[in-house]
Amino acid sequence: MPLLYTIGKLAVAPTIRLAFRPTVEGLEHIPATGGAIFAGNHLSVADELLLGTVVPRHLAFWAKSEYFKGTGVKGAFSKFVLTGLGAIPVERAGGRAALSAFDAAIPVLKAGDLVAVYPEGTRSPDGRLYRGRTGAARLAVAAGVPIIPVGVTGTDKAQPIGTRVPRPGKAKISIRFGKPLDFTGRSDDRTSLREMTDEMMAEIQKLTGQEYVPRYAPKRAEPTAGPTA
């Protein structure tokens, strides 16, 4: 586990758990060793913060590549922090540039680390669960690791879209982990990836109870999740 991440787990995580008091279920589904992908619904910026707090192992998140390329003292500090946390850089340009983030995640997963992905591609604008993009399934097949479905509720009330500062105590927060989905040996053709993704989203819906919308969530001006293509 990266040093800065370890420090955060010891110094910051207890305070976050005390402030938000999340109910956590299914921790037994998180493997003690080996790589895995956490695929969850996305309601709020607070999702990443809380997920990293309750998962006992190091969890690698995506971060915009420009945060690694800044200049001056601020840029150097940003790069130092993100590198120290084990973040994976992602290009926002799309196409081959965005797919390079998946290339970077594969050795991370094969080395036994955990990676978080939000298949909807952005935060839900209305609290419903939208159609998942196939990136998580493609990554699972390429790296040969399971997908652990994650369902989070309440964070959209604790930190609604457009709110910079979380408001602990505004809602009861629940984080539920489902049984790992093993897609080993499945084809990575478009049809198969779509089937795996729909299966994954169905498991997430079971954990959250959200209404499902069979179309992609509308894009936001500022993407908040990692690559999803």
Instruction: Enter the tokens of residue 41.
Output: 């619904």
| Rg, C-alpha atoms of the chain | 17
**Cβ count within 10 A of residue 164:** 6
Residue 163 confidence (pLDDT): 86
Residue 222 confidence (pLDDT): 47
| Half-sphere CA count of 183, side-chain side, radius 13 A | 30
Q: Which residues, in sequence order, are bridge partners of residue 63?
A: 89
Instruction: Enter the tokens of residue 12.
Output: 């910051």
Rounded distance between C-alpha atoms, residue 33 and residue 92, angstroms: 31
Dihedral sign of CA atoms 105, 155, 41, 226 in order: negative
Domain ranges of the chain: 3-61+94-213
What's at 51, amino acid-wise? Answer: L
Rounded distance between C-alpha atoms, residue 133 and residue 118, angstroms: 9
- In the chain, DSSP assigns E strands to 23-25, 36-40, 59-60, 62-64, 88-90, 114-117, 129-130, 147-153, 174-177, 212-213
Torsion angle, alpha carbons of 72, 74, 80, 85, to 10: -160
* Closest alpha carbon to 173 in 159, 187, 189, 194: 159
This prediction's pTM: 0.88
Three-state secondary structure call for residue 85: helix
Blockwise average pLDDT, block size 10, the chain, 229 residues = 88 92 97 97 93 95 80 86 83 60 89 94 94 94 97 95 84 96 94 98 98 91 50
Residue 93 confidence (pLDDT): 54
Answer whether 115's CB lies under 8 Å from 59's CB.
Answer: yes
Residue 182 confidence (pLDDT): 97
